[in-house]
Amino acid sequence: MRSVEETIIEQIRKAAEGVASSEVRLGIGDDTAVLRAPREGREILLTTDQVIENTHFVRHKHPARALGHKTLARGLSDVAAMGGEPLCFLLSLCLPEWARGSWLRQYIYGMFQVAKREKAPCAGGDIARGECFCAALTVVGTVARGKALRRDGARPGDLLFVSGRLGGSELGLSGLLSEASGRSAAVRRHLFPEPRLALGRLLSGLRASAAIDLSDGLSMDLARLARSSRVGAEIDAAAVPLFPGASLEQALHGGEEYELLFAVRPAARVPASAGGVRLSCIGRVRKELGVVLRTAHGVENLEPRGYQHFSGDRNGSRGE
């Protein structure tokens, strides 16, 4: 007789079969996975992220398939922000009673749809029961040696760009929490974010001076990039690309966009779009610390007001 744990591992192993990789020499089922060393001239990227009930999602509102998608997409987005390529991932699941059976099948299905498309095989993980749902996903990637797009390389005079259009995820979340039914474009945007892997590789080729993915909101993630680089920034409100129906407020502070924010030297040739995703210049890096917003009424401080898990709500004001 198989234990529940072994049945779930078997389920994941089957889903994982569709995403083979010659890099993974030994996958699910031993004490550790074994990976080939990356090919000559490449370094290893490592990132881990959690998806937790009532912190990152509400069980009765977020479909299991979307959560599986997002759990993996978030990790891949971090690899994209470094200009890298995914190699494989590890999945840890802490599962309460309710998150089994068909819910779990949908969750795994959503995750492996992304895994297949992005060619990211599952190399292992850990399954255990617990009192709340918590997924921790680790992505391993590679990047050309010395070419990782870090947060700390922005210099005064650099131009700041974002990919896509902002505010859609926040707008979609409001829609999801209030509506009884319906799947607007914004709700889909919130539920199924796309990691910008091709764009990340392009930026690595363009020698972008710094990059970060927008997970906690433009205002907060830009403040992080600026702080890491020991610089400030000025954003032009009119230049921030808005998702249809989203407000400037949602675009500036809404979380979970998973678009890339990056800085380039003024002479860099940034295309107008990459892989169908538009790239917009929204401002510039300056020497004076702090982030400011230029509007028709003048210049004001842009406080970091993105999502903070420990403040317990969105658009709180607990950032530095």
User: Residue 123 interacts with its own copies (CB under 8 A)?
Assistant: yes
Separation between Cα atoms, residue 89 and residue 86, nearest integer Å: 8
Question: What are the structure tokens assigned to 147, written together?
Answer: 């070419």
Which is closer to its own copies, CB of 55 or CB of 113? 55
As to burial, measured by CB atoms within 10 angstroms (0-12 exposed, 13-18 middle, 19+ buried), residue 73 is buried
Site pattern 62..101 for its own copies (x: CB under 8 A): ----------------xx-xx-x---x-xxx-x-------
Closest CB 25 distance from its own copies, rounded Å: 7
Closest CB 71 distance from its own copies, rounded Å: 12
Of all helices (H) and strands (E), which one includes residue 43? strand 42-52
Which is closer to its own copies, CB of 90 or CB of 120? 90
What crossing angle do the helices spanning 64-81 and 197-206 adopt, rounded to 10°?
Answer: 10
Closest of 263, 75, 74 to residue 152, by C-alpha: 263
Closest CB 278 distance from its own copies, rounded Å: 22
User: Residue 105 interacts with its own copies (CB under 8 A)?
Assistant: no
CB 149 within 8 A of CB 203: yes
- Maximum distance among all alpha carbons in the chain? 70
Which stretch in 12-20, 38-46, 158-166, 189-197 sits in contact with its own copies by CB under 8 A? 38-46
- Binder of its own copies out of 49, 85, 194, 234 (CB under 8 A): 49
Which is closer to its own copies, CB of 141 or CB of 175? 141
CB 53 within 8 A of CB 154: no
- Binder of its own copies out of 11, 52, 155, 286 (CB under 8 A): 52
Backbone angles phi, psi at 40, to 5 degrees: -40, 135
Closest CB 175 distance from its own copies, rounded Å: 24
User: Residue 126 interacts with its own copies (CB under 8 A)?
Assistant: yes
How many amino acids of this chain bind its own copies (CB under 8 A)? 76
